[in-house]
Structure 1
């Protein structure tokens, strides 16, 4: 292939690439996804923009989105084993009991604070994880 033939081939290749349609990501920027509630009207699409409406009941208008809602009250999410564990220390006195009754009753207070902090951090980790879809 001569030098001029390779130049013409490069020009033809460049012209062919310029004629390709725009990538899908650039076209997807013109899509507007909207949630409408009750009997609210859905906005109309224009020549430059495509509007996609999802209709939900009026009762959902001011609620937290489903993907951000937790699975019920803490009492219903907590395991029975954890509830039963709290009954182990009811009426305890003496060493490691965190009570004013008996010698060394105060020694369990720091342990209770540490256990409570660990339980709260575990619960916040569970609450901050995204739900599976």
Structure 2
């Protein structure tokens, strides 16, 4: 009878291990959701029947058109309407700080305009060189 007890114990151990096997099969049937979160937003937690995979993007991308749908091309075609409208404000302007050959001291705004343009070009260059997070 002492030889049977180890066999019964090992059979019980094998039965217990078979009961634990269906758990991975349940995980394979779970729904997988791929979600993009922005900035410091929390990623939703996974549940028993759903696996959540999060991709984190910077806050500046929250309200932008997805990259794969953005058009390429010249800067003017990619520029926002607000930026274009800002340039229309200075069209036809004459006088001091206008960078215009018309009016008194119209030339005084040319250096300011060149400096602003250089800073804007440098900012765009840096943004183009950085890799997305």
Asked if Structure 1 and Structure 2 have the same fold, meaning a TM-score greater than 0.5 normalized by the shorter chain, the answer is no
TM-score, reference length from structure 1: 0.44
